[in-house]
Structure formats: structure tokens, C-alpha cells
């Protein structure tokens, strides 16, 4: 079974125009309140070619969840969107989103903002996990033979033993929708060896456009598929006479 080592959740919430109190949010006093509320190391301002602020990004913050500080890796605020990455599962991330919306209500002098104005939301889960799958098992037999017989002899240098190891493995996921109100941004499905780890550790960096429960189920299905493959490939003994 997948051993979860580290988990983060990325959420993006999309709102209609003028739902988020953008003019109030950009005020220096409110930016100071936002930075203090989540202890951000800094809040970066993104601008369009005309110099108008179109994005606010808080980085290196924290949020107290059940008396435990949790890392808020990033909070992005836009005129019609709230996006964040926090080091908890999606089962717990809702509380942070509710706190952000509470802050927006507090600074909204027009009193028009409400989380009920949300049009859609998406989840992404990022997990470092130990899986019962050797990294070389991700290669098909033809790829394995190609690396061993064709690539390896051609990349050797004098007095060296060149080793080939998988580093990146990801798929791009795009969404088509009938809605003309919004588009879903492309997402990534990633299952690759964790950078800096040894192959023997079978430690993987994984990411999917799903909540934590679904993501964990995908990792367990991933393990099962390779376990079944190994079982089918085992040589069978001779029938007894």
C-alpha cells in the first residue's frame, strides 16, 4: 500500500466578474493585513502592460489548523479567482479557503462578496509517496532493451560507468467544456522518481488533478497494476505427472 510521506493541495476557485472586492484588496493597508494574517514572507504584485495590478501572490506563509501551523506555500488572488497551495490534504484545505473568504468579507466595504458566487473549483494533489514499484518497471521491454543495448554503449566516457535512470514522467491533461463562462486550465498527471532519492527507496513525486482521496486511490491502483503484471510474468512450474 502506498506510504504517504508528504502531501500538498492546490485549489483554484473561480468567481464571476466583480465578485471579489479587488479595489479594496489592492489597498496598501489591506495588503498589510493579508500579509500579517498568514505571515507571508512577501506579497508579489503582477501587472498588465499598462501597469494595472492583475494578480497578488503571497508566498511562504502559514495557517493554524487545529492548533498546528501548516505551510501555505502560495496564495494567488486575481479579480475573479482564488488559488492556493497548502501543505495539507484536500480534506483539511477547505478551512483555509473559508478563512480567506472571511478576510475578503471583512475588507469588502461594498458588502457584495460571498463564497456562494463561486462558479467552479478544481483540485490538484501533490504527494511524495513510497510505492512498491521499482522505477525500471515503468519501462516496457522494448524501451528497456533500447536503453541497455543501444543507448548505454554509446554514452560511455573513458573510465566511467554510465547509469541511466528515469527522471521525468508526466502527462498533460486538457479539458473541453460546453460552458462559455470559463475554461479549465490544463493539468498534469505525474508519477516520477523523487528528485534526490535513490532508486532502491522507490520514492516517487506524484501529482494529479484530483482530491486527496482520489489521488491515493490512483496510487494504490498503480501499485496493484504492477503487482498483477509481475504475477503474470512469473515462470510457471512444470505440471506434475
- Same domain, yes or no: 7 and 79: yes
Examine residue 30 and state whether it is found in any structural domain, yes or no: yes
- Same domain, yes or no: 161 and 181: no
- Same domain, yes or no: 66 and 148: no
Q: Are strands 203-208 and 187-193 parallel, antiparallel or unpaired?
A: antiparallel
Q: Which of 119, 148, 166 corresponds to the end of one domain?
A: 166
- Same domain, yes or no: 52 and 117: yes
For residue 238, the model assigns a pLDDT of: 56
- Same domain, yes or no: 94 and 212: yes
- Same domain, yes or no: 128 and 141: no
Whole-number Å distance between alpha carbons of 43 and 35: 7
Examine residue 240 and state whether it is found in any structural domain, yes or no: no
Whole-number Å distance between alpha carbons of 21 and 109: 8
- Same domain, yes or no: 99 and 159: no
- The model's pLDDT over 191-235, given as tens digits with 9 standing for 90+, comes to 999 999 988 899 999 999 999 999 999 999 999 998 876 655 555
Q: Please count the CA atoms within 13 angstroms of the CA of 99 that sit on its side-chain side.
A: 15
Examine residue 57 and state whether it is found in any structural domain, yes or no: yes
- Same domain, yes or no: 13 and 61: yes
State how many domains the chain has.
2
- The model's pLDDT over 174-186, given as tens digits with 9 standing for 90+, comes to 998 887 777 888 9
- The model's pLDDT over 23-82, given as tens digits with 9 standing for 90+, comes to 999 999 999 999 999 999 999 999 999 999 999 999 999 999 999 999 999 999 999 999
Examine residue 24 and state whether it is found in any structural domain, yes or no: yes
For residue 163, the model assigns a pLDDT of: 84
Examine residue 239 and state whether it is found in any structural domain, yes or no: no
For residue 88, the model assigns a pLDDT of: 97
pLDDT band at 164 (very low <50, low <70, confident <90, very high): confident
Query: Which phi-psi region, left, alpha or beta, contains residue 60 (left: φ > 0; alpha: ψ -120 to 50)?
Result: left
Whole-number Å distance between alpha carbons of 222 and 202: 13
- Same domain, yes or no: 46 and 143: no
- Same domain, yes or no: 54 and 94: yes
Examine residue 50 and state whether it is found in any structural domain, yes or no: yes
Q: Domain of 146?
A: 136-166
Examine residue 238 and state whether it is found in any structural domain, yes or no: no
**pTM of the prediction?**
0.86
The CATH number of the domain holding residue 123 is: 3.30.70
pLDDT band at 158 (very low <50, low <70, confident <90, very high): confident
For residue 59, the model assigns a pLDDT of: 98
- Same domain, yes or no: 158 and 214: no
- Same domain, yes or no: 14 and 49: yes
Residues found in the chain = 241
Amino acid at each position: 500500500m502506498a506510504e504517504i510521506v508528504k502531501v500538498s493541495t492546490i485549489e483554484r476557485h473561480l468567481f464571476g466578474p466583480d465578485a471579489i472586492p479587488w479595489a479594496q484588496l489592492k489597498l496598501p493597508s489591506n495588503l498589510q493585513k493579508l500579509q500579517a494574517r498568514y505571515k507571508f514572507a512577501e506579497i508579489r504584485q503582477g501587472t498588465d502592460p499598462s501597469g494595472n495590478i492583475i494578480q497578488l501572490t503571497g508566498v511562504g506563509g502559514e495557517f493554524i489548523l487545529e492548533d498546528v501551523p501548516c505551510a501555505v506555500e502560495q496564495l494567488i488572488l486575481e479579480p475573479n479567482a482564488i488559488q492556493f497551495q497548502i501543505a495539507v490534504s484536500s480534506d483539511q484545505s477547505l478551512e483555509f479557503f473559508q478563512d480567506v473568504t472571511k478576510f475578503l468579507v471583512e475588507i469588502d466595504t461594498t458588502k457584495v462578496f460571498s463564497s456562494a458566487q463561486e462558479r467552479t473549483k478544481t483540485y490538484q494533489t501533490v504527494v511524495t509517496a513510497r510505492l512498491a514499484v521499482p522505477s525500471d518497471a515503468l519501462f516496457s521491454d522494448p524501451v528497456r532493451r533500447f536503453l541497455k543495448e543501444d543507448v548505454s554503449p554509446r554514452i560511455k566516457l573513458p573510465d566511467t560507468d554510465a547509469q541511466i535512470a528515469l527522471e521525468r514522467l508526466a502527462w498533460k491533461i486538457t479539458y473541453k467544456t460546453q460552458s462559455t463562462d470559463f475554461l479549465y486550465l490544463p493539468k498534469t498527471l505525474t508519477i516520477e522518481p523523487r528528485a534526490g532519492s535513490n532508486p532502491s527507496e522507490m520514492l516517487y513525486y506524484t501529482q494529479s488533478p484530483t482530491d486527496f482521496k482520489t489521488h491515493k486511490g490512483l496510487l494504490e491502483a498503480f501499485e496493484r497494476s504492477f503487482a498483477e503484471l509481475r504475477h503474470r510474468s512469473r515462470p510457471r512450474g512444470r505440471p506434475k505427472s
